[in-house]
Amino acid sequence: MRWKTQAATLDLSRRAMVMGILNVTPDSFSDGGEYDAPDVALERARQMIAEGADIIDVGGESTRPGADDVGSAEEKERTVPVIKALRREWDGLISIDTMKSEVGRAALEAGADIVNDVSGLRDPEMVKICAESGCGVVVMHMQGDPRTMQKNPEYEEVVGEVRGFFEQRLIELTAAGIEKEALCFDPGIGFGKTLEHNLALLRDLEGLEVEGRPLLIGLSRKSFIGKLLESDALADRDWPTVALTAWTRESGAMVHRVHDVRPNREALRMVEAVMGG
């Protein structure tokens, strides 16, 4: 299993990768306002790198349910300086978490290697930018949009429908010029899914695999964990996230997007040791 990014082609056949979340936003659900100053964001990135992050995922717009829209200019102002500063001192992988083609282009020009688009590249211009740049691409499934996605999401069979979306996007995106090896798929845990939908997807990750493309799992601190624990405290979600990281690695997920790098990375290495990886 290989994943091609703008900087390198990654071998994901045995060792999973950790994508550290760097939200440079005032309103993200977990850490909004903590890292929205460039110098503070850069220090947080350094910390995650020291803890073993393989990828730093920089996001300038919250995608929590009901979050306010952010214009492209403001989103660029939040993310591009951080990406430029990080690129000057680190040769590792940088991802831009955005739905906007203008932001994606600016981030790639600033030094990003991967576009992580929660909308699944609905914008044709984003498709064009990704094809031309040769960057890595994360295609996420989301029913609806971030403002409305949790208003009564419905599926006849969620695993089959998400897999069908991946299959269709692979055909469409490769026809538009994006290399198949550049694609990574994300089932979008918590994005237009109920608790039952999330659990069904996590139980059958193998059923989501499409033509050997890697799966990215982003479930760190998400609200479904709080519902299962019957707790609203974000701190209560950290160790359950680690447990789910271990579970999803055993089930075949090879990219893990998390807030706390060290414990999740250590969980991956332990699972891989037992699996013989």
- Residue among 76, 163, 257, 265 flagged as catalytic: 257
For 2-275, give the CATH class: alpha beta
Question: Residue 227 catalytic?
Answer: no
Which listed residue (78, 169, 222, 237) is catalytic? Answer: 222
Sign of the dihedral defined by the CA atoms of residues 266, 213, 82, 241, in that order:
negative
Q: What is the pLDDT along the chain (277 residues), one digit of tens a residue?
A: 999 999 899 999 999 999 999 999 874 445 444 555 788 999 999 999 999 999 999 999 987 666 667 899 999 999 999 999 999 999 999 999 999 999 999 999 999 999 999 999 999 999 999 999 999 999 999 987 766 656 778 899 999 999 999 999 999 999 999 999 999 999 999 999 999 999 999 999 999 999 999 999 999 999 999 999 999 999 999 999 999 999 999 999 999 999 999 999 999 999 999 998 5
Over the chain, what HEC string results?
CEEECCCCEEECCCCCEEEEEEECCCCCCCCCCCCCCHHHHHHHHHHHHHCCCCEEEEECCCCCCCCCCCCHHHHHHHHHHHHHHHHHHCCCEEEEECCCHHHHHHHHHHCCCEEEECCCCCCHHHHHHHHHHCCEEEEECCCCCCCCCCCCCCCCCHHHHHHHHHHHHHHHHHHCCCCHHHEEEECCCCCCCCHHHHHHHHHCHHHHCCCCCCEEECCCCCHHHHHHHCCCCHHHHHHHHHHHHHHHHHCCCCEEEECCHHHHHHHHHHHHHHHCC
In the chain, what are the domain boundaries?
A: 2-275
Annotated catalytic residue 222:
yes
Structure tokens at 115: 């576009």
pTM for this predicted structure? 0.92
Residue 19 near residue 259 (C-beta atoms within 8 A): no
What is the rounded CA–CA span in Å between residue 136 and residue 193? 26
Q: How far is residue 113's CA from residue 108's CA, in Å, rounded to a whole number?
A: 6
